[in-house]
């Protein structure tokens, strides 16, 4: 009887390990697919690659998840070649951002009070594991504008290269 109970325990342990691996795999894949919520607008090739995709500049759009009526457009470099095609290349840190009011803007009390300053509104992995392109939002109450800052960082060291865009909060016509 004890052998049978031991066998069941080992089977349960293996089952839990498999479930854990599946959950971690789903989390990892989900974290890489989440930034795909940005809409691809277009791209231009910047360098020909004999094998794999060409290096290019891509233009993407995303809406601020907390501010309806605010849309940002990002242009950034995307590395091609074989390593870029399979997703192991590291994209450059440079990016440009332009944000516009695309509808009526209503700010929450959290944003108006400044408690949401620095909140992340967009994040995209630009290397396999350690480098990301991020956009954060600030609110300047004195001037009644939303400020969007794009920058790139790594686990250990980020890049000082950045870009900002400002949306004046005005009545929508």
Please state the domain count of the chain: 2
Mean of all residue pLDDT scores within the chain:
79
User: Which tens digits make up the pLDDT trace of 10-36?
Assistant: 667 667 677 766 665 555 554 444 444
Q: What angle do CA 74, 133, 115 make, to 5 degrees?
A: 90
Q: Determine the structural domain holding residue 126 and report its residue range.
A: 41-168
Say what the pLDDT of residue 33 is: 40
Q: Do residues 87 and 139 share a domain?
A: yes
Q: Do residues 71 and 155 share a domain?
A: yes
Q: Is the pLDDT of residue 68 over 90?
A: yes
Instruction: Name the least confident of 72-81, 108-117, 154-163.
Output: 154-163
Q: Do residues 72 and 30 share a domain?
A: no
Q: Do residues 25 and 105 share a domain?
A: no
Higher pLDDT, 78 or 121: 121
Q: Do residues 25 and 47 share a domain?
A: no
Instruction: Name the least confident of 29-33, 143-147, 149-153, 159-163.
Output: 29-33
Asked if residue 25 is part of any domain, the answer here is yes
Q: Which residues contact 169 (CB under 8 A, 6 or more apart)?
A: 101, 105, 107, 144, 145, 146
User: Which tens digits make up the pLDDT trace of 82-138?
Assistant: 555 555 566 666 889 999 999 999 999 999 999 999 999 998 876 666 778 889 999
């Amino acid at each position: 009887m004890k052998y049978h109970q031991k066998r069941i325990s080992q089977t349960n342990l293996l089952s839990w390990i498999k479930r854990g691996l599946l959950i971690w795999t789903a989390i990892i894949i989900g974290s890489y697919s989440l930034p795909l919520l940005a809409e691809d607008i277009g791209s231009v090739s910047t360098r020909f690659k004999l094998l794999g995709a060409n290096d290019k500049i891509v233009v993407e759009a995303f809406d601020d998840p907390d501010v309806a009526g605010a849309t940002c457009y990002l242009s950034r470099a995307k590395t091609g070649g074989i390593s870029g095609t399979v997703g192991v290349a590291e994209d450059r840190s440079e990016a440009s951002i332009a944000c516009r009011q695309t509808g009526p803007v209503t700010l929450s009390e959290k944003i108006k009070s400044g408690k949401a300053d620095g909140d992340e509104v967009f994040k995209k992995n630009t290397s396999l594991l350690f480098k990301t392109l991020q956009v954060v939002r600030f609110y300047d109450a004195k001037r009644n504008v939303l400020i969007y800052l794009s920058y790139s960082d790594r686990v250990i060291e980020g890049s000082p290269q950045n870009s900002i865009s400002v949306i004046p909060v005005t009545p929508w016509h």
